[in-house]
Structure 1
Amino acid sequence: MRIGYVRVSTEQQHIERQKVILNDMNVDKLYVDRCSGKNMNRPQLQEMLSFVRAGDVVVVESISRFARSTRDLLHLIDILTKKEVQFISKKESLDTQSPAGKFMLTVFGALSELERDQIRQRQLEGISIGKERGVFQGRKRKVNSEFDRIYGQWVAGKITATQAMKKLSWSKSTFYRRVKERKETQ
């Protein structure tokens, strides 16, 4: 059986291009994830890995849709290999049935990871330059006029931290960052 795997990072991205490519490659079943590829905790990926059997072929549009780090890629390929499942990536023209295909898979995986790291580095550099010029200032600071009162209740043990966060409509990280700032100014 030929099994296709498609991944997009957000709900706003479209899967049609990948679906067309995989349909042209005659996939019998398709798994689609709409989440980041930064790790392997993806529901459809895990379901696909449970589903595949010896003799099956997993087909992807490109390695970057399957895994974003070389380590994850090699781990996923190892899982497929142990199940006697072949892997094909259309964009990179890779087929893991040949030794050359296995070698090139490692090379392309490393290149994909390098590209991702370079994008992240350029993004951080751009933010830094923007901050220096006063163009980029990050997200606006969340303000809640009730913080002092709710903080006092929390310190006195009248409410839990979770209750305080809920009353303030703040995330855990925002709440504790403000608590830390408050303690530093006291």
Structure 2
Amino acid sequence: MTFTFSQGTKMQYGYARVSTKHQETTVQLDALQAAGIKKIYQEKASSVGTRPQLQECLAQLKPGDVLVFYKLDRVARSLKDLLTIIERVEAAGACIRSLTEPLDTTSPMGSFVVQILGAVAQLERSITRQRTIAGQVSAIKRGVVFGRPLHLTPEQHDEARAMFRAGINRNQVARHFGVNRIVIERIWAEMHGRKKTGTYPVLKDFM
């Protein structure tokens, strides 16, 4: 649903959201109207949904426009989501502004805040990745095997060899059986009188 109020000095688009149909956007609408917003998009939807009104609002943005909202959690579900929205806004040549928080990319300070948020998000991704790798390395040292199944029945071995002889490549055979390609590589190598051993190309350098 879109509400249109009196025009301001800039082409500004407001966005208001509540999570359920039983809640109201009155406070947000009043604040946006008081800020002189020309057009306001509002919806009653969970932040994990598609938020069609937000998508329509973002699609309307043109160079020089400003997307205004009452509070960060009304427009974004997470830091990652917020940065994605900011990227879309900036790609359109527009800016973003919160009425209750120090986020206003029309000003140097607001742009600086966005840079800090981006750095925090990058640090968070790096820490998560390091923890994931450390956990995988520890599990491998304990004998845990990752990935799809590493075994086929004797009958499936015979079927795989028949598929090879029929000219089906190893990727297709692996997908057919739903196993890791290393299993199929071993069968193929045995057919050609070679010994095939598996490795961990990604994690071995960390062990």
TM-score bracket, shorter-length normalisation: 0.5 to 0.7
- Which of residues 135, 142, 147 in structure 2 aligns to 1:126? 135
Indicate the structure with greater helix content.
Answer: 1
Q: Does 1:96 align with 2:101?
A: no
Q: CA RMSD in A?
A: 4.5
Aligned partner of 1:116 in structure 2 is: 125
Aligned partner of 1:60 in structure 2 is: 76
Deviation at 1:160, TM superposition (A): 6.1
Verify the 8 A CA contact 1:150 1:164 in the aligned structure 2. no
Question: Residues 72-114 of structure 1, C-alpha deviation per residue, up to 9 Å, x if partnerless?
Answer: 677435214x1x3425498x74221211101120121011111
Partners in 1 of 2:151 and 2:116 — Cα distance? Answer: 48
Aligned partner of 2:163 in structure 1 is: 154
Q: Does 1:51 align with 2:56?
A: no
Gaps of 5+ in 1: 6-15, 36-41
- The 5-angstrom pairing of residues 130-145 of structure 1 reads 130-132=139-141, 134=142, 136-138=144-146, 141-145=149-153
Question: Residues 115-165 of structure 1, C-alpha deviation per residue, up to 9 Å, x if partnerless?
Answer: 111121022213323433x27543573433243223222221265667645
TM-score w.r.t. length of structure 1 = 0.56
Gaps of 5+ in 2: 1-12, 30-39, 69-74, 197-207
2:107 alignment partner AA: S
Closer, same or farther: CA 29–51 of 1 in aligned 2, 3 Å: farther
Partners in 2 of 1:75 and 1:128 — Cα distance? Answer: 35
Partners in 1 of 2:114 and 2:128 — Cα distance? Answer: 21
Aligned partner of 1:28 in structure 2 is: 41
Verify the 8 A CA contact 2:104 2:111 in the aligned structure 1. yes
Aligned partner of 2:185 in structure 1 is: 180
Partners in 2 of 1:48 and 1:162 — Cα distance? Answer: 42
TM-score w.r.t. length of structure 2 = 0.52
Number of residue equivalences: 155
- State which structure, 1 or 2, has the greater radius of gyration over its C-alpha atoms: 2
